[in-house]
A and B are shown apart, each in its own frame.
Chain A
Amino acid sequence: MRSTRHILQILAAAGFFLLACATQARAEELGRKDVVLRGDAKCTRCHDEGDDYPVLAIGKTRHGTVADGRTPSCTSCHGESETHMNKPEGVTERPKPTVVFRGKNHSTPEAQNGQCLTCHQSDAKRTHWEGSIHQARDVACTSCHAVHTGHDKVRDRTTQPEVCFACHKEQRTQINKPSHHPIPEGKMACSDCHNPHGSTGPKLMKRDSVNDTCYTCHMEKRGPFVHSHEPVSEDCGNCHNPHGTTAENMLKARPPFLCHQCHTPHGAQVGQVVGQGQTQPFAGSPLLSGTTSGKSGINYFMARGCTNCHTQVHGTNNPSTTNPTPQFNFR
């Protein structure tokens, strides 16, 4: 009985030993197997989703689409990292990988971007990265992009602005003003107008100029018109702040102050709003009566300001040669 129990114990031990061996062999097999990316086995034997910097979610992205032969391995981006893989003797802290993208000891922006550009240099949307203001000011790709996640904030229209606002504070204050593009509502994003990877336009405009970018949505302003307004065709930004203003139509200043930056105004009235006693006599006559000129202080300060009458401020295609001709963009 005792010997039988002993035999059973030995068999059980052997069974567990074999099972343990099998488990270990299976684990080692798995340990050497790539989990997500080609050749990631040497990394994923230590790094996984429980890491401080989870790595497996890269599999959810285009970088993790292994069937596309162009996609990277871990070392394509982080370098071969020999000393990181095999800690040298006598070193207390394991050296960092060759290229580190986050944390205190991150690599230089050139080194980081160099890894990305290995592939993305051959990218139609990044042909003008070199020389762009972001490149010249050492903005690293990972300053904006998160690679090891299925949700890269900067590639989502609703969350992209908060990434850009990490540096562009002035624009953050402007988009919440009452006259704005639908950026806070998540219907437009910075990249609808700007190409942060470089462009031939000023201010990293997506198309070749400020106006060409605006025309993609506001083509009715393009003309050419019979009667044009030169600053309009030169740069929409002469009058508008597209990030938001308190004045209507995202105007940089309320008319007539905006218009008076260029134009000699008619009328001789200081600015007024309704109900301020304009019918009282001032220097012998009231500012407002039943037959005073329409060019009163009220009429060009209130409502639409100068554009109360000069409606066609973007230009008019009215060809009429007779009075009143549309040259002042009345109609």
Chain B
Amino acid sequence: MATTRQHGLRRTLLAAAMLAVFTPAWGDDDAVARLAKPDTASVSVGGAGISGDPKDRSLFTQYNGLHKDDAYFLLDFDYVKRDDATGTWTIVQGKDLGLDTREVRFLYGPQGKWKVFGEYWELTRYYPRTINTSEQGIGSNNLGISLLATPGTGQDVDLKTKRKRLNLGGQAWFGKNLMLEATFTNEDKDGARLWGRGFTCPSAAAPTPVCSALASGANQWALLMVPEPISSTTRQVEVKLNWLGERFNLIGGYYGSFYNNDYSSLNDTITGNLNNGLGVPMSPALTSGLRGILQLPMALPPDNQAHQFSVDGNYAFTNTTRANFKYAYTHATQTQSFSQGGFDAPPPGRSDLGGRLDTNLAQAAITSRPWSKLALLANVRWEDRKDKTPIDLYNVEGTSTFTNGHNSNEKLTGKAEATYAFPYAIKGSAGLDYESIDRDQFVPTDQVAGLSGIRQKTYDRGFHLAATKTMADDVTGMITYIHTDRHGSSWLKPASGATTGVFPADPDCTSNGANACIYSRTAIFPFIFEDRKRDKVRALLDWSPMEKLSIQLSGDYGKDNYSAPTEKGLDHTRLELYGIDVGYQVNDTTRLTAYYTYSEQTLKVAHSTGYIADLKDKNNTAGVGITGIAGPRIHWGGDLMFIHDNNQYNMGLDSGASAQNIAYFNSGLPFIPDATFRDLRIKLFGSYLLQKNSDIRVEVVHDRTKLDEWQWGYNGIPFLYSDNTTVNLKPDQNVTYVSVVYTYRFK
């Protein structure tokens, strides 16, 4: 700040004064204009090169548009003009125009009166792994599958998804308080995504004769990689009429969102035999039953749409007491015709799902400062999603018949908090938190799939404490503590066999018979329903021991302890995080920043077949950045980022483990190995001012990545799909990127 300086003539004024004497009158305006006017017009042209081939750089180039080619043309432009007399802005900008991540945007209009704006944007995401396969038709919804004679000898396929988005919008003020705004977004998405299908016979889901065991009584199964074709359009329209006053803001709005998929189903045709689990052709060959199942059409995401009408706003009762609120009604439907997908027969008389979800949302909050040292806050939010989709008999499995279900959900959340300003510039907050979810009654004709128990309602109650020191000292800090305790309504046991619905669970298996015996030793209860105790602590400390130096220390600790009627399923999750950030102003022209963060996340899951997984993700992330100016012409800088992420899959057996698992465990063979990700990225840049209105910028990025994991292979042995398709990633990737860009600024 200039508070210690003497008042007097300053540089701008002196310059302006001199200009006033020795140059024409426009001179002073010109000097100030350079400092205070936004007007700019520039074009940047250049080239970039990147080392290796796409497989050598697939992790680095997932999103940045540098995947496919080794050299790129770079083109950006920037035009900003403001007509000061009318306050009219004209902005046209283009970025990355030579890449497949190009962006163009514009804005035009007198500020405070009206404006129109738009953006065209492309983004291509390349799946970093390469697929080697003999499959035909990838990217379409008709695939041809046949056994590749030798793994790795098929065609290499790179999957990608490309988004092309167009945003258009406008805003107009009618008088001081009334404003209308509207936006429209259209996004086309094309490409293919890694997907798959598999089945094993015999199966309870496909009883004989559809899916039989081999004559020997053994199984036959297959897994196939079937990329999901993507060719869809998303459209969103939003219109808001705003009344914006000094004390009262009221916004009425409509938001429509529409999804349209060009494909309804994915179909594949399997020619010939497939391999068994040992990687050799099945013998006997692929049965017609399993082949038929693997060739059944797979549904692709259906067209759907939603219309939301809302009103929200806020009101200032006084300068210290304010409220805000929102009410929204959303009507969402999904009525895509079943006949489009070539599926087997739907329920008689039903041509589409008739899916309908009606959601009511209401929210209100009030904040008040009854006196200067005390602040109060209360917030309540209620959201009720009613699934009104017709119920019909979608499942006929031999004698077991049942319907679809409903996905209703009523959520109530609330919060009350008081904050008091204590002496010594310390603020303390204490509050209560509440959340309840009611998933409505289970549809009695539906059948739960793959779960041991469910709950209709859960209640989360808790409190939080916070202390902050915010005033003008060298040290500022904040610490928060959150505790919540989740319970729920009685557990419900899914019916089994041909029975539908759920039964109230009974630990003694007496009142409701065998169907209520939920507490078998191996039952797993979904974590979203389980009782949970959550504790979280967060602390931040900012210290500025001198004007040039700032240090920030941060720490997070959180633990969720889960409990259910059995010891199986999710036991706990935990997070620890510690970090330090440092900023140092080396001199007037050079600034240095650095940070280091260590985090450890734990997930402990007990598997019902007798093993316990204790997963740990240990992460070290560090960064150093420096920027500087060397003389009047050179700007320079650099960043270094390092990340080391180690995922450990610790496994143990419990007393319920099978003899085979115990034997395997005791054999000394490795279990699931660690998955490790390392990335060291160095970026250096420098720009040189060639002339007053042009410069040249050079950027060099070197990235060394290592992803050592077992998902698609281990120790050089690939995971083989049944047609010998493999999915590969070069684990060590070193890539260097160099760009040179010339920028010319028009006067």
Contact = CB atoms under 8 A, between A and B. Distances in A.
A265 B608 contact: yes
A230 B341 CA distance: 24
A58 B723 CA distance: 64
Given A35-B32, A124-B181, 15 more contacts: A127-B249, A128-B365, A169-B554, A172-B621, A182-B123, A221-B301, A223-B304, A231-B528, A263-B450, A264-B523, A265-B607, A279-B278, A290-B278, A318-B341, A324-B206
A185 B59 CA distance: 12
Given A169-B577, A176-B643, A294 B82 contact: no
Among B9, B336, B659, residue most surrounded by chain A Cβ atoms (within 10 Å): B9
A229 to B, nearest CB: 9
Nearest to B575: A170
Contacts of B480: 137
Nearest to A49: B35
Given A131-B379, A150-B38, A319 B396 contact: no
A51 B2 contact: yes
Nearest to B217: A291
Q: How large is the interface on A (under 10, 10 to 19, 20 to 34, 35 or more residues)?
A: 35 or more
Interface in A104-126: 104-106, 108-109, 121-124
B326 A23 contact: no
B206 A274 contact: no
B207 A323 contact: yes
6 contacts: A60-B37, A220-B259, A263-B451, A269-B660, A291-B220, A302-B710
B451 A262 contact: yes
B258 to A, nearest CB: 8
A327 B447 contact: yes
Interface string B362-381: 01011100000000010101
A-B complex: 9 closest residue pairs judged by Cβ atoms: A59-B36, A294-B221, A67-B87, A291-B218, A294-B200, A324-B206, A319-B346, A220-B301, A262-B526
Contacts of B194: 304
B393 interface: yes
B312 A200 contact: yes
Interface string A214-237: 011101111111111011011000
Contacts, number: 543
Given A131-B365, A324-B205, A138 B527 contact: no
A293 B200 contact: yes
A93 B3 contact: yes
B636 interface: no
Interface stretch (B48-56, B152-160, B627-635, B664-672): B664-672
B234 A226 contact: no
Contacts of A253: 603, 615
B186 interface: no
B12 A49 contact: yes
A53 B3 CA distance: 11
B387 interface: yes
A326 B322 CA distance: 51
B394 A271 contact: no
B3 to A, nearest CB: 5
Contact of B395 (A67, A177, A270, A325): A325
Given A57-B35, A187-B101, A311 B195 contact: yes
A234 B198 contact: no
Contact of B199 (A57, A322, A330): A330
Given A176-B643, A231-B528, A330-B197, A219 B38 contact: no
A52 B1 contact: yes
A316 B395 CA distance: 13
A224 B663 contact: no
Given A58-B36, A228-B405, A271 B205 contact: no
A98 B194 CA distance: 60
Interface in B173-229: 177, 179, 181, 187, 194-200, 203, 205-207, 210-211, 214, 216, 218-223
Given A262-B527, A320-B343, A327-B449, A131 B293 contact: no
A274 B717 contact: yes
B203 A93 contact: no
B645 A177 contact: yes
B544 interface: yes
A325 B222 contact: no
A297 to B, nearest CB: 8
A303 B670 CA distance: 18
B439 interface: yes
Given A57-B35, A172-B597, A309-B198, A323 B397 contact: yes
A200 B128 contact: no
A328 B21 CA distance: 85
B611 A270 contact: yes
A246 B677 contact: yes
Contacts of B35: 49, 56-57, 59
Among A27, A238, A295, residue most surrounded by chain B Cβ atoms (within 10 Å): A27
Interface string B646-684: 010101010001111111110101111101010100000
A138 to B, nearest CB: 5
Nearest to A173: B621
Interface in A35-82: 35-36, 44-53, 56-62, 64-70
Given A173-B599, A303-B711, A316-B299, A265 B609 contact: yes
A231 B259 contact: no
A270 B653 contact: yes
B472 A104 contact: yes
B747 interface: no
B556 A170 contact: yes
Given A185-B63, A264-B451, A224 B219 contact: no
Interface string B1-37: 1111101111111101110110000001000100111
Given A262-B526, A265-B609, A299-B198, A309 B223 contact: yes
B334 A261 contact: no
A59 B657 CA distance: 72
Contact of A67 (B12, B85, B721): B85
A325 B394 contact: yes
B277 A288 contact: yes
Contacts of A331: 197, 296-299
A57 B404 CA distance: 62
